Amino acid sequence: MEAKESRSGSYVWQSILYGRDVIQRGARWRIGSGRKVRVWQHHWLPRKHPPLLCSPVVEGFENATMDLLIDAETRTWNEELVDGLFAPEEAELIKRIPLARGSAEDILFWPHSSNGRYSCKTGYRFLKEENELIPFGEPVNTKLWNGIWALNCPNKIKNFMWRACRNSVPSKVNLMRRTILQEAICERCHQVEESVVHAVWSCSSLDVVRSNLSLWGVRRTQSFVDFKELLSWIIVNHQDPELFAITVWTIWHHQNQQIPRVPAVPRPRARWVPPSNGSFKINFNGASFRAENKSGIGVVIRDGHGMVIASLSEKLPRAYGPEEVETLAAAMALGFAREIGVDNVVLEGDSSIVMTALRGEDHYLSASGLSVEDVQLLAAHFLNYFRRDGNKLVHSLARFATFLV
């Protein structure tokens, strides 16, 4: 990974180095001990773009490593320090990163695959996405990103604005370019192709929405090449960017609601099956509540007759991703079983990715891999995948956790 380019290198060697560069751009650090990972210089944030921190570097912390942010005794994030060093959105992202119960090695993983391992297929997809997000030779517009970051509106709207600036929104032009659609004419005005800026700004069908000339008079006097240029103008000229962002998101959301949807074909319902006599079955589930920034965990332990002998519903202090919250639920389920003295158990969950990872003997390299390894140490028995429609009881307990004090 440290090899340098050479003009005398063969075509094969140059190709290997190019592949190495792709991996370096797309890989992320999984935080173990945190000693190898530099806070502001390395790619470790659990988001696709931008991979580096946008929060300004704090004097005295220029070369800080991640272990500075971790409480070595409790193996949890030092939340007071994290909140003090980083912007609120990035601080929340950091605090959602799961940490191992014991010290572990920092390793690079590939976040664009479910198992954290690089493949030619996922590498190709990464390059396609990268090409759409950052055109070749274009620097990252930090001022624009900070302007989006500072908007006083929900995160989902900020995310949409960022994606629209990078032309990664599924407008008809973009879908046609990916050969998903055969033509790109706007469905509302039937006059021009539907680019992102056309769909949310210049389409004639939006005249009634943009009728306030004191706010949107520029729509009649100035044209914009793309959405990025439009939003930059709105922010630089202080044209109420919050109202603009909320309006744009509402237009896009309303447009998507008008798309006819094909009814789903019902599938057979899964039925819960009791374990064999003399053993117990542990069902677990996790749920995230983004609005409240909380997660919930539900656990039910039943005997061979299907009788519930213990249950648990617990609230977690922040909203984790689906894979992370399911892994934390599995760990809590096994810890709960140990507390009440239950062994000879079957662990059953409804996340096929997590259950497959827990069965695996290889190292699971995704962001939640350290939590998976913790669960593997606790799980000395069988692991079953069970569809959610047969796991309703613990799913309800997980959702009930949001009402707990």
Band (301; pLDDT cuts 50, 70, 90): very high
What are the tens digits of pLDDT across the range 332-384? 888 898 888 888 888 888 887 777 777 765 566 776 677 777 777 776 544 45
Q: Give the pLDDT score at 6.
A: 62
Per the domain annotation, does 50 fall within a domain?
yes
Per the domain annotation, does 264 fall within a domain?
no
Residues 313 and 200 in one domain: no
Q: Give the pLDDT score at 89.
A: 85
Per the domain annotation, does 305 fall within a domain?
yes
Residues 98 and 146 in one domain: no
The token duo for 205 is: 């069908």
Per the domain annotation, does 129 fall within a domain?
no
Evaluate whether 327 touches 360 at the Cβ level (below 8 Å).
Answer: no
Residues 38 and 84 in one domain: yes
- State whether residue 352 is helix, strand or coil: helix
Q: Give the pLDDT score at 13.
A: 67
Per the domain annotation, does 134 fall within a domain?
no
The answer for residues whose C-beta is within 8 angstroms of residue 66's C-beta and 6 or more apart is: 29, 31, 34, 35, 37, 38, 39, 44, 106
For the ranges 134-138, 198-202, 261-265, 268-272, the lowest mean pLDDT is seen at 134-138
Q: Give the pLDDT score at 376.
A: 74
The token duo for 153 is: 């509106």
Quick one: average pLDDT of 112-118? 81
Per the domain annotation, does 26 fall within a domain?
yes
Q: Which of 86, 118, 150 finishes a domain? A: 118
Residues 301 and 394 in one domain: yes
Burial of 114 from C-beta contacts in 10 A (0-12 / 13-18 / 19+): middle
Quick one: average pLDDT of 76-97? 90
Residues 246 and 284 in one domain: no
Task: Select from 161, 148, 151, 144 the least CA-distant residue to 251.
Answer: 161
Residues 287 and 399 in one domain: yes
- State whether residue 172 is helix, strand or coil: helix
- Better-scored residue on pLDDT, 207 or 296: 296
Per the domain annotation, does 102 fall within a domain?
yes
Domain extent, residue 216, equals: 141-257
Kindly give the pairing relationship between strand 294-302 and strand 280-289. Answer: antiparallel
Residues 253 and 298 in one domain: no
Residues 82 and 176 in one domain: no
Residues 163 and 222 in one domain: yes
Q: Give the pLDDT score at 308.
A: 92
Evaluate whether 359 touches 328 at the Cβ level (below 8 Å).
Answer: no
Quick one: average pLDDT of 248-272? 75
Per the domain annotation, does 273 fall within a domain?
no
What are the tens digits of pLDDT across the range 51-75? 888 888 888 899 999 999 999 888 8
Q: Which of 118, 149, 164 finishes a domain? A: 118
* Domains identified in the chain, total number: 3
Evaluate whether 204 touches 141 at the Cβ level (below 8 Å).
Answer: no
Q: Which of 57, 85, 118 finishes a domain? A: 118
The CA angle 352-402-253, to the nearest 5 degrees, is 70
What are the tens digits of pLDDT across the range 165-215? 888 889 999 888 888 888 889 888 888 899 999 999 988 888 888 777 777
Residues 250 and 334 in one domain: no
Task: Select from 370, 372, 337 the least CA-distant residue to 354.
Answer: 372
Q: Give the pLDDT score at 136.
A: 42
